[in-house]
Chains A and B, each alone.
Chain A
Amino acid sequence: MLERFLFSYFNWEVMAEYLPNIVDGFFLTIRLALETVVTGIVAGLFFALIRSFRIRIINFFIILLVDVLRALPPLVIIVLFYFALPSVGIRMSGFTATWLSLSLVLTAFAEEIFWAGILSVPKGQWEAARSTGLSFIKTMRYVVLPQAVRLTIPPLTNRTIAITKGTALGAVVAVGEILNQAQTGLSLSYNPSPLTLGAFAYLVIFGPVVYLGRWIERRFAWKR
Chain B
Amino acid sequence: MEQIIQNFFNIGILKAAFPFLVRGLGMTVLLCLTVVPLGAAGGLTVALLSTVKNRMVRWLVVIYTDFFRAFPPLVLLIFIYYGVPFVGIDLPAFVAVALGFFLNTSSYYGEIFRAGIESIPKGQTEAARSTGLSGFKTMAYVIVPQATRNVIPDLISNTLEVVKLTSIASVVALPELLYAARQGQSITYNATPIVAAGFIYLILLWPVVRLLSRFEHKSIALH
Which residue of A has the minimal Cβ distance to B167?
A: A73
User: Is A55's beta carbon under 8 Å from chain B?
Assistant: no
Known A9-B83, A168-B74, A202-B75: A67·B221 in contact at CB below 8 Å: no
Q: How close is B73's CB to chain A, nearest CB, in angstroms?
A: 8
A75 B161 Cβ-Cβ under 8 A: no
Interface flags, B69-80, vs A, CB<8A=1, else 0: 111111100110
Residues of B whose CB lies within 8 Å of any CB of A are 3-4, 7-8, 66-67, 69-75, 78-79, 82-83, 86-88, 119, 150, 161, 164-168, 170-171, 178, 181-182, 185, 190-191, 194-195, 197-198, 201-202, 205-206, 208-210, 212-213, 216-217, 219-221, 223
Q: How close is B116's CB to chain A, nearest CB, in angstroms?
A: 11
Interface residues on A, range: 35 or more
A202 B70 Cβ-Cβ under 8 A: yes
Known A87-B190, A202-B71: A72·B86 in contact at CB below 8 Å: no
Among the listed stretches A38-46, A130-138, A192-200, which one makes contact with chain B, having 4 or more residues with CB under 8 Å of it? Answer: A192-200
A199 B171 Cβ-Cβ under 8 A: no
Report which residue of A1, A75, A183, A202 has the largest number of chain B beta carbons within 10 angstroms of its beta carbon: A75
Residues of A within 8 A of B166 (CB): 73
Majority SS of interface residues in chain A?
Answer: helix
Other 10 A-B pairs with CB < 8 A, given A67-B206, A71-B202, A75-B178: A1-B87, A4-B87, A71-B208, A75-B168, A151-B223, A168-B72, A169-B168, A186-B83, A207-B66, A210-B66
Interface flags, A61-103, vs B, CB<8A=1, else 0: 0000001101111111101100110011100000000000000
Identify 21 residue pairs between A and B in the complex whose beta-carbon atoms are under 8 Å apart, listed by A's number: A70-B212, A72-B201, A79-B178, A84-B194, A87-B8, A88-B7, A88-B8, A116-B220, A120-B220, A120-B223, A151-B223, A162-B161, A183-B82, A192-B86, A195-B78, A198-B75, A202-B70, A206-B69, A206-B72, A207-B70, A210-B66
